[in-house]
């Protein structure tokens, strides 16, 4: 079953590109060895080619990182994925993944790519959406102005606004889930603790949640 996300029908299908690359490397090397061994007809040459092939495979494992634990990379497009463990309607933010999940129920959730707090600015805990703000005005927090004194203290709604077109302000007014004027940061650790989303994604999420929606932030 698919769910319309950002006006399009989406269902996530993972693809293991590393396995495909390794298989291609294997096929090419086998074909190369057979061709050379037939044309030369030398046992010495065939042994040499076997050594080259073994070295190529070892190199491929090292370059592609298949000999090491895989490093999770955020998927940079929203989609529906399997998801359990939370009540429908809950927003779950997994900082280490740089993903936000809106739980749909029936073992599914909409997954959105996000930017999270930079090192030293991460946080975790339970909260709720306290306010929904369309076309917000950005007011620079004191810690941001301290690090960036050249920034204006207020930025009105528009393309230069760091909050983007929508903001979901969390309880205590310290952090928010919002859009961004720097979409290239999505998938990274870049903020002062707020959760950044692509503007199209925050508009989509904004219409799906309400004030009081529970938000769970995990490491």
Segment 175-179 long-range contacts (CB within 8 Å, at least 24 positions apart): 175/123, 177/91, 177/93, 177/100, 177/129, 177/202, 177/205, 177/215, 178/136, 178/202, 179/203
SS3 assignment, position 16: coil
Exposed (0-12), middle (13-18) or buried (19+): which is 168, by Cβ within 10 Å? buried
Positions marked catalytic? 178, 194
Query: What are 92's two structure tokens?
Result: 């779950």
């Amino acid at each position: 079953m698919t769910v319309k996300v950002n006006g399009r029908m989406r269902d996530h299908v993972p693809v293991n590109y590393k396995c495909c690359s390794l298989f291609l490397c294997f096929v090419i090397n086998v074909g190369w060895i057979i061709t050379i061994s037939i044309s030369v007809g030398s046992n010495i040459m065939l042994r040499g080619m076997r050594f080259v092939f073994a070295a190529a495979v070892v190199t491929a494992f090292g370059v592609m990182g298949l000999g090491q634990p895989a490093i999770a990379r955020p998927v940079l497009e929203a989609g529906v994925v399997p998801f359990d463990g939370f009540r429908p309607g809950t927003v779950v933010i997994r900082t280490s993944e740089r993903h936000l999940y809106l739980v749909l129920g029936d073992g599914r959730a909409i997954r959105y790519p996000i930017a999270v707090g930079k090192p030293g600015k991460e946080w975790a805990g339970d909260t709720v959406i306290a306010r929904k703000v369309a076309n917000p005005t950005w007011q620079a927090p004191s810690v941001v102005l301290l690090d960036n004194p050249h920034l204006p203290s207020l930025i009105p709604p528009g393309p230069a606004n760091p909050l983007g077109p929508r903001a979901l302000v969390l309880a205590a007014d310290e952090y928010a889930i919002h859009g961004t004027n720097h979409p290239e940061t999505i998938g990274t650790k870049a903020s002062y603790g707020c959760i950044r989303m692509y503007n199209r994604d925050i508009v989509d999420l904004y219409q799906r949640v309400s004030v009081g929606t529970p938000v769970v932030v995990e490491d």
